[in-house]
Chain A
Amino acid sequence: MKISLPEILLRSKEGQFMEEKQFDLALFKKTQELQKKYHIKYDPGKPLDTEGDLADRIYQAGVELFTELGTFCVTTNRVINVSEKELFAAIDTCPEEIELGQGNERVKMGHRDVEGDQQVVVVAGIQTAPYSDEAHMFMIYKGCAMDRCVDGIWGGILLKNDGKYDVIAGTPSEIYQYRKTVEILRKAVTAAGRPGLITISNAPTSGATIAMFDEEMGLRRTDYMESTGMSELKVAYDDLNRSAFALAHGVSIHGTHSSTIGGFSGNPEGATITAVAGSLQLIAIHFADSFRCGTVDSRIKARQSRSQLWSAGSAIQALSRNTKLIVDGSIGDHPAAGPGTKQYFYESAAGHIVSTVMGGHSTEGTRKFTVGNTCNYGTPLESRWMGEVCKAAVGMDRKTAEQIVLYLLSKYEDHLMDAPEGETFDGLYDPKRMVPNQHYQTLYDEVKKELKDIGINFID
């Protein structure tokens, strides 16, 4: 049985008081100790752990980190501690399978094994990105939803209220705009002939996120609520507001946490241990049924560097081998390169192959890592790619995946810091026919052929 939300809140009030800096430095010290204790070592020559023994040690280290250090509540400056016994009880309570979506679009999202042939759930779409106007938003959402490669679509945000007013987090404008946006999302998936499709969205504040739930025109109980753990091993009450609503409303909770290479976890080994511990935090403190286990790098604006592939991949493998939890990997979600470039597809493929092979789903959308205020920065084609790659990687073994990933890395890793910006929707698509322009379609076909030639069996 999981610890109750009121008990978690009590611990967030009565746990050890600490300055945030003390917690950060304690995390650093502990991750360095644990990597020595459990002999965890990153070898850049092997971006995937193809054996698994290491993953088991990473899991043990993650459990030890979470149960000994705890989670820092930034709202109260207190540490929330969960014992090993309580953690394992929480893990045992978690579902091995959940169902998302409705009608013909209902899908089962279950625990996946490493190299497993279980179905991978793909929620694509240009995650949380800004759109210039309702027409573009509707058109792009609909285009993404029409593609049978994807099981769900992420929402974004219209940049301006009524075309001219700023949308500001924490103000009524945020609730107004996110609510309006999710209605467009619902209309678009219905227009695409998939009214029951999984739709996901997440606003900066819990108030606006909760306001998007509406069985008729918004997010539904059969979608999931995202509850984010702050980097690293931290939580704010605003995150738990989302969990509280979801628990009361009967919505499945999807946690996300990313550890930081170069941050307080230190090296890739430390970030890997923290990625596991952060995932356990999502289970025990955020009440997640499924969760995204990931890493970011403090120096690189992408998620697919060599060390990130190893780190996130190893953490996902650690959880997939040692538990029956529902893990989301989504490593390929945010390339450094922009849409309309080969590099975008290479990065996306590398990340999604590692996620899938290590036992993860991919439900965090796909877009350039940094989009800023650039509107309509993506097309349905990147979503199709995400779906095609994830589904082709189901059942692939780690050694094959490693060879493919090494090839892909050779194509992009020297260009993560100066990645091409790509183009927005208008430069890449024919809006009347809703198909990629010839140049973009040719580029897509070339990359797909290239990857077929190196061993990816796409399901045509």
Chain B
Amino acid sequence: MEIENLAEEHKQILDSLMRAIVDIDDEKATTIAEKIIEQEINPSLAIKYSISNAAIGIGEKFDSGEYFLAHLVMAGDLMASVGKILEQNIPIETRERKKVAVIGAVQGDMHTVGKNLVATMLRSGGFEVYDMGVDVPSMAFIEKAKELGADLIALSSLLTTTMPYQKEVIEDLAAMGLRDRFKVMVGGGPVTRSYADKIGADGYGKDAIEALEEAKKICA
């Protein structure tokens, strides 16, 4: 079922869920999600419509300066908890699997700001994100991605002397015969699209917003 075919009353409920998430109103969003289940509105449609559009709205507020990184984290948590309520009422065989991303700052790199931003944007964009933190050895990325069955490995580097580790992850994946199993995206202050192309990355984001768009595109 598509949103256009929904009864107006139900459509308004989905709109109100979207607004509650954008406003980061935990209590209201939870109540509405429970109401959606009670009224037997298609939970898959609620996820697809309310949560997806809320993610766009939150991204716009961040982009305009109204929201900060903390809001993205809180909104991401709220989307996850609301998504869980809705998802529990979808038969397992028809549940849409979330894309899984493993993210971190590469070995030797202790910079967190950009990496945190991208991790949070990915979460708000519907990815299940495993943030490995900073100074992460190349093999640790690969092992975690294998363990989680990840779709994406996102590598942050803010230093010219840590950029070679982005290349190393890609080379190690190839050496292990795993290159086709994961998409690899790179970013960070000194990293450019041409560098990303040169080392054979699948994607590049010059900022957190572009990173989310790129991640969605390459993982589609």
Contacts and interface: CB of A to CB of B under 8 A. Distances in A.
A370 B69 contact: no
Nearest to A169: B108
Contacts of B113: 231, 260, 263, 296, 298
A29 to B, nearest CB: 8
Chain A interface, >50% SS class: loop
Given A230-B111, A265-B68, 15 more contacts: A24-B70, A24-B73, A167-B161, A169-B162, A169-B165, A170-B108, A204-B110, A204-B162, A231-B113, A236-B134, A238-B110, A260-B113, A263-B117, A298-B113, A301-B189
A236 B160 CA distance: 20
Interface of A: 20-21, 24-25, 28, 74, 130, 157, 159, 166-170, 174, 203-205, 228, 230-231, 234, 236, 238-239, 260, 262-267, 296, 298-299, 301, 370-373
B110 A236 contact: yes
B74 interface: yes
A166 B164 contact: yes
Interface stretch (B34-42, B90-98, B190-198): B190-198
A202 B38 CA distance: 60
Nearest to B158: A204
B190 A170 contact: no
A251 B174 CA distance: 45
Contacts of A265: 68
B107 interface: yes
B69 A263 contact: yes
B70 A205 contact: no
Contact of B161 (A74, A204, A238, A298): A204
A231 B111 CA distance: 8
B65 interface: yes
Contacts, number: 99
A230 B115 CA distance: 13
B70 A168 contact: no
A163 B211 CA distance: 33
B160 A373 contact: yes
Given A168-B108, A169-B159, A372-B190, A262 B74 contact: no
A130 B160 contact: yes
16 contacts: A24-B69, A25-B70, A25-B73, A130-B160, A167-B160, A169-B109, A230-B111, A231-B113, A263-B117, A264-B68, A267-B68, A298-B68, A298-B117, A299-B65, A370-B189, A373-B160
A263 B165 CA distance: 26
A157 B190 CA distance: 14
A169 B74 CA distance: 34
A298 B69 contact: yes
Interface of B: 65, 68-70, 73-74, 107-113, 116-117, 133-135, 159-165, 189-192, 195, 207
Given A74-B133, A168-B165, A234 B112 contact: yes
A204 B162 CA distance: 8
A320 to B, nearest CB: 26
A182 B112 CA distance: 27
Contacts of A260: 69, 113
A230 B69 contact: no
Nearest to B119: A21
Contacts of B134: 74, 230, 236
A168 B109 CA distance: 11
A298 B113 CA distance: 7
Nearest to A171: B108
B190 A371 contact: yes
A373 B199 CA distance: 14
Given A74-B133, A370-B190, A157 B73 contact: no
Contacts of B189: 301, 370, 372
Contacts of B111: 230
B159 A231 contact: no
B12 to A, nearest CB: 32
Contact of B160 (A21, A157, A170, A228): A157
A69 to B, nearest CB: 14
A175 to B, nearest CB: 11
Contact of A204 (B69, B73, B108, B133): B108
A28 B190 contact: no
A438 B117 CA distance: 43
B127 to A, nearest CB: 16
Nearest to A21: B73
A168 B169 CA distance: 13
Contacts of A166: 164
A174 B161 contact: yes
Given A264-B70, A372-B160, A204 B109 contact: yes
Contacts of A74: 110, 133-134
Contacts of A167: 160-161
Contacts of A267: 68
B6 to A, nearest CB: 35
Nearest to B114: A298
A428 B164 CA distance: 30
A266 B161 contact: no
B73 to A, nearest CB: 6
Contacts of A20: 133
A323 to B, nearest CB: 27
A166 B159 CA distance: 13
B65 A169 contact: no
Contacts of B74: 25
Contacts of B133: 20, 74
B164 to A, nearest CB: 5
Nearest to A374: B190
B108 A263 contact: no
A169 B161 contact: yes
Contact of B107 (A169, A203, A231, A264): A169
Contacts of A263: 68-70, 113, 116-117
Given A166-B164, A168-B161, A204-B161, A373 B70 contact: no
Contacts of A170: 107-108, 135
A131 to B, nearest CB: 11
Contacts of B161: 157, 167-169, 174, 203-204
